[in-house]
Amino acid sequence: QVQVVESGGGSVQAGGSLRLSCVASRNIASSDCMGWFRQAPGNEREVVASIDSDGSTTYADSVKGRFTISKDNAKNILYLQMDSLKPEDTAMYYCAADGPPYCRGGYLFWYEYTAWGQGTQVTVSS
């Protein structure tokens, strides 16, 4: 099972940017659907963005046009660039691997993944 470690979270003001990184313990070039999820207190863990092995991406409607998911296959790193951050983006963000073979247009659930990092906190103030 792959191990993943997230980093890059922090506290920013609304309109700011952050880039999250997720380092994987094995090659991710041909990995199944990888994703970024987030979970705010009292809420279920929800998918934010996902990327297939061919590089195609999908996004939750709430982050379209503001977030960008990408991966560096040579370094085994998954990224999430977050721009124009809003207070409602405040949550713990998690990298997910070892999930479904395809991202299915982003229709994903947290219980489909078996490899999770410890999460990185993102706090956006107004």
Question: What is the per-residue pLDDT for 1?
Answer: 85
Find out whether 35 and 51 touch, Cβ atoms under 8 Å: yes
Give residue 60's pLDDT band: very low, low, confident or very high (50, 70, 90).
very high
For the chain, give the percent of residues with pLDDT over 90: 83
Give the residue among 123, 87, 91, 117 at the shortest CA–CA distance from 10: 123
Residue 72 has pLDDT above 90, yes or no: yes
Give the Cβ contact number of residue 68 at 10 Å. 15
Residue-level pLDDT at 28: 87
Q: When comparing pLDDT for 82 and 106, which is higher?
A: 82
pLDDT band at 56 (very low <50, low <70, confident <90, very high): very high
